[in-house]
Amino acid sequence: MRRFVPVLLALMSAAIARAGDLNDYPTAARADYVFACMKANGDSRLALEHCACSIDVIASILPYDSYVAAETAAGVGQQAGQIGRMMNGTGAIRDLLGDLRRAQAEAQVRCF
């Protein structure tokens, strides 16, 4: 029995680490996403469930720092003029936005 204790502890700590990795989005960021998503999808109980699922899927795919960077880039990229064109023309920004769009598409498939 004593041989299994270290293995069990290792498995438990790995599970805890993975759960922590999936929950690196602050509650306020998740709530902001859900509120905005619900506004776009009808403000119903069903929308709440779909939107909560959606941010969970996104959080499981995209680390929070990448999510913030992509959301920021998306907002700046929507600006008219030179700044918007500069943001959209950068390879790193395109990669960030692509990652966010893929995570959102996966969330759409799984949750809606």
pLDDT at 91 (0 to 100):
84
**pLDDT above 60 (res 1):** no
Residues 86 and 68: their CA atoms lie apart, in Å, by 19
Within a domain: 30: yes
Number of domains into which the chain is organized: 1
Q: Kind and range of the H or E element at 10? A: helix 4-22
* CA-to-CA separations, 51 to 28, 67, 88, in angstroms, rounded: 14, 16, 27
Within a domain: 11: no
Evaluate if pTM is beyond 0.85: no
Within a domain: 65: yes
Q: Which domain holds residue 90?
A: 25-111
**pLDDT above 90 (res 3):** no
Within a domain: 12: no
pLDDT at 6 (0 to 100):
47
pLDDT at 76 (0 to 100):
81
Residue with token string 């998503």? 37
